[in-house]
Amino acid sequence: MKPSHVDEQGRPRMVDVGHKPVSARMARAQAEIVFPPEVDAQLRAQGYAVAKGPVIATAIIAGVMGAKKTPELIPFCHPLGLDDCEIAIEPAGEGVWRIDCAVRLQARTGVEMEALTGAAVAALAVYDMCKALSPEIEIRSLRLVEKHGGKRDYLRRND
């Protein structure tokens, strides 16, 4: 199978999606951020706010901004006008927050990279806001959870 982002001379190129039909596309990605127990307790006690401001609200804004800027960060990602981008941040266990980014649009290409970037940037914003509390904060398990539209749908099992 010929790589899709390489031309006949082996040079990198953007994939031409002009011939593909416009269809409804959606992708959802998740990241987890893990806090040491004392940091988790401190965040709860402070109402999830730190000296830099409200952690969750700021991370939601950062995640949406990240999803919208994906083509500026990842080579050959098509610039897409997103119809919707939702970031949800919720506890997923003791000292663990799950960040969920769901992106939707009508387009000729998928939005997996936008969902992954949105989840990653939201996690990075949480880390940035909380890093003064501990360098032991960990971002882990960035992954695609589901996608619909295009050649094939995908749904991660056992989550």
In a domain, 17, yes or no: no
Task: Look up the domain containing 99 and give its range.
Answer: 23-150
In a domain, 66, yes or no: yes
In a domain, 11, yes or no: no
In a domain, 27, yes or no: yes
CATH number at residue 53: 3.30.70.640
Q: How much is the mean pLDDT over the chain?
A: 94
Predicted pLDDT at 95: 95
**For 44-70, what is each residue's pLDDT tens digit?**
999 999 999 999 999 999 999 999 999
**For 126-140, what is each residue's pLDDT tens digit?**
999 999 999 999 999
In a domain, 119, yes or no: yes
Predicted pLDDT at 151: 86
In a domain, 118, yes or no: yes
**For 91-108, what is each residue's pLDDT tens digit?**
999 999 999 999 999 999
Helices then strands (H, E): number in the chain? 4, 7
Does residue 3 carry a pLDDT above 90? no
Q: pTM score, two decimals?
A: 0.92
In a domain, 70, yes or no: yes
Predicted pLDDT at 19: 87
Q: Active-site residue numbers?
A: 128
Predicted pLDDT at 1: 58
Predicted pLDDT at 103: 98
Tokens linked to 67: 């999803």
Q: Give dist(CA 62, CA 93) in Å, integer.
A: 23
> Could you give the number of structural domains in the chain?
1
Does residue 4 carry a pLDDT above 80? no
Burial 7-44 (b: 16+ CB within 10 A, else e): eeeeeeeeeeeeeeeeeebbbbbbbbbbbeeebbeebe
